[in-house]
Structure 1
Amino acid sequence: MSNWKRICPLDDIPRLGARVVQRPSGGDIALFRNAEDEVFALHDKCAHKGGPLSQGIVHGRKVTCPLHGWNFNLQDGQALAPDVGSCASFEVKVEGGEVWLVA
């Protein structure tokens, strides 16, 4: 059973930007919004050196880590070649202009 939680209005996440959802345990989650208003959710920690992905550059369905330039697929958290690794991804949806997350 999924446990959806309302997080914020879509407009609270800047286009081509991110918003951080803090959790008491398990690490923060970064919500990313691309130019097409798609929203994605990843653990806010780069698999390479632990950099804050929420401060990275969003382009298409990818985010570039601000520390060392690694690129991650926003849909599944997988690093893009030549880099190897992944960060956790979370279910997210937008309904009625509101962002919902399973975490």
Structure 2
Amino acid sequence: MTGTWTLVGPLADIPRQGARVVKTRNGCIAVFRTAEDEVFALNDSCPHKGGPLSEGIVHGTSVTCPLHAWVFDLNSGTAQGADVGQVPTWPARVEGGQVYLDIGQLG
């Protein structure tokens, strides 16, 4: 692996179509796992009302905010549909059954 990757933990610890929160010095990051075992990482706060995206519903490669149903693309962090907004995303990967975040991107 290239970059500054840090171990988050086993992929099996993140439920399919769910998330796990990772606390960093720059705030909380939600690490999502799709039904196909893809992983994505976004800031854990919806720009609309600060809802915890980690508690949202994961469908395909999107997550729906639990507070006001804004839908975000897990690849880009961009709100979909009529809603306007975006959350920062972070590089995430799975290697050997373990999830890693690129902490070099966390600042």
| TM-score in terms of structure 2 length | 0.92
4+ long deviations beyond 4 Å: none
How many angstroms apart in 2 are the aligned matches of 1:50 and 1:5?
26
Number of residue pairs the alignment of both structures matches: 102
Residue type of the partner of 1:31? V
Q: Secondary structure at the match of 2:8?
A: strand
How many angstroms apart in 2 are the aligned matches of 1:56 and 1:92?
19
Q: Secondary structure at the match of 2:3?
A: coil
In structure 2, the residue matched to 1:101 is 101
How many angstroms apart in 1 are the aligned matches of 2:81 and 2:102?
28
Tell me, which stretches of 5 or more residues in structure 1 are unaligned? none
Q: CA deviation at 1:102?
A: 1.1
In structure 2, the residue matched to 1:5 is 6
How many angstroms apart in 2 are the aligned matches of 1:29 and 1:71?
17
Q: In angstroms, what is the RMSD of aligned CA positions?
A: 1.0
Q: CA deviation at 1:57?
A: 0.2
1:28-69 C-alpha deviation (Å, 9 max, x unpaired): 000000100001000000011110000000000000000000
1:50-101 C-alpha deviation (Å, 9 max, x unpaired): 1000000000000000000000000110000211110000000000100010
Q: Secondary structure at the match of 2:27?
A: coil
In structure 2, the residue matched to 1:50 is 50
In structure 2, the residue matched to 1:39 is 39
How many angstroms apart in 2 are the aligned matches of 1:98 and 1:38?
12
Residue type of the partner of 1:42? L
How many angstroms apart in 1 are the aligned matches of 2:8 and 2:56?
21
In structure 1, the residue matched to 2:77 is 77
